[in-house]
C-alpha cells in the first residue's frame, strides 16, 4: 500500500526521525566529490533527500550490518577476578538506525548477505535495528550491471519502505511488516494505517548467470585456463572485497588493555595471503591466482550452488575502484563461455 506525500511532508518526516533515531543518507563530499552514506544532522540537506545524489556511494552498506570493527564480547584477565577469561555480552545499547535513499543494488545486498548470515546473531541484531528506506535508480552508471545479476534499477528486495516518484510528486510505499510498524509509530502524512504491499512469494526466477553457473561443472570452471591471465595484474590490495556490499568474510581478534579485553570482529579479505594461512604454516591459497579465482568462484559458483542467486548485485564498485582495472563483467563472460 502507498500514499501520496509532498516534498514538505517528506522533509518534515525526516526532520522528526533524526530527533529519535540515527538516520543516514548518501551525500556528496563538497571537496572530493565522493558520495558517502553519512549521518544526518540538524542541518539536513533537503536537496539530497528529495533528489538522491547520483552515483554509487563509496560507503559499502555492509558497514551498517557488520561494523568495522564490531565488539562482540568483553572479558577480564585480572588474576583475582573469579570470572577472568569468561566472555560476556558487550552491553552496547543499539538504537534504531534508518538508512534513507538506499539504491536497489545496496538494499538487495542485505537480502543476499542474510542467506549465509541467517544464524549469525550479530548480523541479525543489526538487521533487526535497521529500517531501509529505498529509492529506485533514475540514473545508472557506466559501471553498473544490476540486471545482469538478477536485480533491477527499480527493484525493492531488501527494502522496508520505498519512496517513489509519481507524475505529480512522491509516494511512500510499505514493503514489509517492519516498515508498516515503523510508519505506525512514526507516521508520515496519512500513513499510520498502511499495510505492506503483498510481495511476490517464492518461485522468483534466478538470473541467467546464476542458472548457467549452477549447471556448469565445478572442476571445469576451477581448472579454466583464463585464471592466470585475470590474476596477473592483481596486486591483492583487497579494495574490491572491502568496497563490495556482498563480500562478508571476517576475522576475530582479542585485544587487551590493562586487565580488560575485547573480542573484535573485523572485515577480512580472501585476496590477502594471510586469510587462509593455517597455524601449521600451510596455505591452501598461497598463490595469487588461487585467491583471485576463489573470489570469482565464490560469487558465481559456490554461492549459487548453495543459496541460488549469485553473490553480486552489480553495483560496479569493484569495477570502478580496482587500481589495475580488473572488470568483473569480463570475468563473468569468460566463466559463461566454459
What does the binding site for ligand SF4 look like in residue numbers (CB under 6 A)? 234-240, 243-246, 271, 299, 312-318, 322-324, 326, 328
* Minimum distance from residue 318 beta carbon to ligand SF4 (Å): 3
Q: Looking at beta carbons only, is 174 or 315 nearer to ligand SF4?
A: 315
279 contacts: CB under 8 Å, gap ≥ 6: none
* Minimum distance from residue 26 beta carbon to ligand SF4 (Å): 16
Tell me phi and psi for residue 88, to 5 degrees: -125, 155
**Minimal CA–CA distance to 58: which of 216, 242, 264, 207?**
242
Q: Looking at beta carbons only, is 170 or 237 nearer to ligand SF4?
A: 237
* Minimum distance from residue 113 beta carbon to ligand SF4 (Å): 11
Question: d(Cα 51, Cα 10) in Å, to the nearest integer?
Answer: 12
Question: d(Cα 63, Cα 250) in Å, to the nearest integer?
Answer: 12
Residue 221 vs residues 46, 96, 294, 305, 307: alpha-carbon distances, Å? 49, 43, 11, 13, 19
Q: Looking at beta carbons only, is 130 or 311 nearer to ligand SF4?
A: 311
* Minimum distance from residue 247 beta carbon to ligand SF4 (Å): 6
Question: d(Cα 148, Cα 207) in Å, to the nearest integer?
Answer: 7
3-state DSSP assignment of residue 266: strand
Q: Looking at beta carbons only, is 232 or 255 nearer to ligand SF4?
A: 232
Q: Looking at beta carbons only, is 50 or 148 nearer to ligand SF4?
A: 148
Number of Cβ atoms within 10 Å of the Cβ of 135 = 21
Q: Looking at beta carbons only, is 279 or 324 nearer to ligand SF4?
A: 324
Do residues 26 and 36 touch, judged by C-beta distance below 8 A? yes
* Minimum distance from residue 190 beta carbon to ligand SF4 (Å): 37
* Minimum distance from residue 118 beta carbon to ligand SF4 (Å): 19
Amino acid at each position: 500500500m502507498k500514499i501520496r506525500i509532498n516534498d514538505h511532508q517528506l522533509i518534515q518526516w525526516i526532520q522528526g526521525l533524526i530527533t529519535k533515531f540515527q538516520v543516514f543518507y548518501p551525500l556528496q563530499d563538497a571537496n572530493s566529490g565522493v558520495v558517502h552514506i553519512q549521518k544526518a544532522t540538524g542541518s539536513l540537506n533537503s536537496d539530497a533527500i528529495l533528489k538522491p545524489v547520483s552515483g554509487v556511494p563509496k560507503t559499502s552498506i555492509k558497514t551498517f550490518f557488520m561494523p568495522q570493527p564490531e565488539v562482540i564480547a568483553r572479558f577480564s584477565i585480572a588474576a583475582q577476578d573469579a570470572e577472568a577469561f569468561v566472555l560476556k555480552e558487550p552491553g552496547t545499547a543499539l538504537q534504531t538506525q534508518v538508512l534513507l535513499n538506499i539504491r536497489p543494488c545496496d538494499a538487495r545486498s542485505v537480502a543476499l548477505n542474510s542467506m549465509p548470515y541467517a544464524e549469525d546473531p550479530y548480523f541479525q541484531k543489526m538487521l533487526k535495528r535497521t529500517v531501509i528506506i529505498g529509492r529506485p535508480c533514475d540514473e545508472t552508471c557506466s559501471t553498473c550491471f544490476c540486471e545482469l545479476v538478477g536485480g533491477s534499477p527499480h527493484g525493492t528486495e531488501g527494502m522496508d519502505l520505498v519512496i517513489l516518484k509519481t507524475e505529480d510528486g512522491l509516494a511512500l510505499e510499505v514493503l514489509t511488516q517492519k516498515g508498516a510498524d515503523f510508519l505506525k509509530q512514526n507516521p508520515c502524512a496519512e500513513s499510520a494505517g498502511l499495510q505492506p504491499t503483498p510481495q511476490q512469494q517464492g518461485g522468483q526466477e534466478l538470473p541467467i548467470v546464476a542458472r548457467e553457473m549452477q549447471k556448469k561443472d565445478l572442476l571445469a570452471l576451477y581448472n579454466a585456463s583464463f585464471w592466470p591471465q585475470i590474476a596477473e595484474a592483481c596486486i591483492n590490495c583487497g579494495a574490491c572485497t572491502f568496497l563490495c556490499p556482498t563480500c562478508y568474510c571476517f576475522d576475530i581478534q582479542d585485544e587487551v588493555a590493562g586487565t580488560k579485553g575485547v573480542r573484535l570482529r573485523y572485515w577480512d579479505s580472501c585476496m590477502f595471503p594471510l586469510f587462509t594461512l593455517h597455524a601449521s604454516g600451510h596455505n591452501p591459497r598461497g598463490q595469487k591466482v588461487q585467491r583471485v579465482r576463489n573470489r570469482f568462484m565464490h560469487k558465481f559458483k559456490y554461492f549459487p550452488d548453495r543459496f541460488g542467486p549469485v553473490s553480486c548485485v552489480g553495483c560496479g564498485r569493484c569495477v570502478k575502484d580496482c587500481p589495475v582495472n580488473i572488470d568483473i563483467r569480463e570475468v563473468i563472460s569468460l566463466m559463461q563461455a566454459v
